């Protein structure tokens, strides 16, 4: 895998590592010093942004990870552990995973797994605004409005994080995404193992990519170790993929900017929710 950030539309100041410029020359740009990730469940952050977080930390920056829920629903139906034990396990897995890439600033909001959309949006948004004002991130990273897979918690997380970012008005907002090219490459394997819990992601055209991070060997090793920290969720996926395919599958992270229409829609949707109108 490539070890550089490549982007057809670079913002010019927030990318770490070598970047391919429009004239195909290589330029070096600085990393964001402070990154905030807002995610629905533990392990979302590792799958979608471990490489980004790793580069920021190794460049001397600071990363904060917010888990809206503890992911307590992510177990087989025959798992006999009480909800409290599941919550504690998933929180400890997040701590273990993030220790592999040097991230120690973890915030847990404790919303119900599968019920993020049922939480009081005003209270959650206020909590996220408080975190943004505390962290002062240059970049906030979260799901796009489609939640990548359409998972209801992912979609709700996107709306809550976006509205909090709008209100706090600090730094850039990046949406994690999957490219059309990546989806096409892995389509047959996804279909074979029935990967998606809801629906496949909407592929992102290359022209809409802000940053695509290809992980080098050492970076991939650290991301793989972070995902091992989430063993209750990742072990079965690794077994289904096989180690070689799994390492290639996790070796790329893609981000885009929100569109103006998405920001307007998020504001209107939250205003409607706050009015009590269904």
The pLDDT tens digits of the residues spanning 145-179 come to 999 988 999 999 999 999 999 999 999 999 999 99
Q: Contact 238/246 with Cβ under 8 angstroms?
A: yes
Token pair of 226 as six digits: 């972070």
Give alpha helix (H) positions in the chain. 44-58, 83-99, 121-135, 152-168, 180-193, 217-229, 231-241, 243-249, 260-275
5-269 homologous superfamily: LmbE-like (3.40.50.10320)
Token pair of 149 as six digits: 């897979």
Q: Contact 2/208 with Cβ under 8 angstroms?
A: no
What is the side-by-side strand order in the sheet with 62-69? 5-6, 211-214, 252-256, 172-177, 139-143, 34-39, 62-69, 105-111
Distance in angstroms (rounded) separating the CA atoms of residues 166 and 118 = 21
| pLDDT for position 274 | 55
| pLDDT for position 273 | 57
| pLDDT for position 111 | 98
Q: Contact 16/51 with Cβ under 8 angstroms?
A: no
Residues 6 or more apart whose Cβ sits within 8 Å of residue 163: 121, 125, 266, 267, 270
The pLDDT tens digits of the residues spanning 42-98 come to 999 999 999 999 999 999 999 999 999 999 999 988 888 999 999 999 999 999 999
| pLDDT for position 28 | 38
Q: Contact 144/203 with Cβ under 8 angstroms?
A: no
Question: Is residue 119 very low, low, confident or very high in pLDDT (cuts 50, 70, 90)?
Answer: very high
Q: Contact 87/70 with Cβ under 8 angstroms?
A: yes
Distance in angstroms (rounded) separating the CA atoms of residues 17 and 96 = 26
**Does the predicted TM-score (pTM) go above 0.95?**
no
Residues 6 or more apart whose Cβ sits within 8 Å of residue 88: none
The pLDDT tens digits of the residues spanning 216-230 come to 999 999 999 999 999
The pLDDT tens digits of the residues spanning 184-209 come to 999 999 988 888 767 778 899 999 99
Burial zone of 114 (CB within 10 Å; 0-12 exposed, 13-18 middle, 19+ buried): middle
């Amino acid at each position: 895998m490539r070890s550089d950030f490549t982007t057809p539309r670079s913002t010019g100041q927030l990318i770490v590592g070598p970047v391919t410029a429009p004239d195909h020359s290589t330029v070096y740009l600085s990393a964001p010093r402070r990154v905030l990730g807002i995610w629905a469940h533990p392990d979302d952050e590792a799958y979608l942004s471990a490489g980004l977080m790793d580069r920021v930390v190794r460049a001397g920056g600071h990363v904060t990870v917010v888990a809206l829920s503890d992911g307590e629903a992510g177990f087989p139906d025959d798992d006999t552990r009480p909800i409290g034990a599941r919550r504690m396990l998933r929180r400890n897995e997040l701590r273990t995973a993030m220790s592999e890439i040097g991230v120690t600033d973890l915030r847990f909001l404790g919303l119900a797994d599968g019920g993020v959309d049922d939480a009081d949006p005003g209270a959650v948004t206020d909590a996220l605004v408080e975190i943004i004002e505390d962290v002062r991130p240059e970049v906030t990273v979260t799901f796009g409005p489609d939640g990548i897979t359409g998972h209801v918690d992912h979609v709700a997380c996107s709306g809550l994080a976006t509205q909090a970012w709008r209100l706090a008005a600090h730094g850039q907002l990046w949406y994690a995404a999957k490219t059309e090219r990546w989806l096409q490459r892995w389509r047959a394997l996804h279909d074979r193992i029935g990967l998606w819990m809801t629906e496949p992601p909407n592929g992102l055209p290359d022209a809409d990519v802000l940053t695509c991070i290809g992980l080098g060997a050492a970076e991939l090793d650290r991301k793989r170790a972070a995902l091992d920290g989430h063993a209750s969720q990742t072990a079965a996926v690794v077994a289904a993929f096989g180690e070689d395919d799994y390492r290639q599958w996790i070796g790329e992270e893609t981000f885009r900017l929100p569109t103006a229409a998405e920001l307007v829609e998020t504001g209107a949707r939250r205003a409607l929710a706050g009015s009590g109108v269904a």
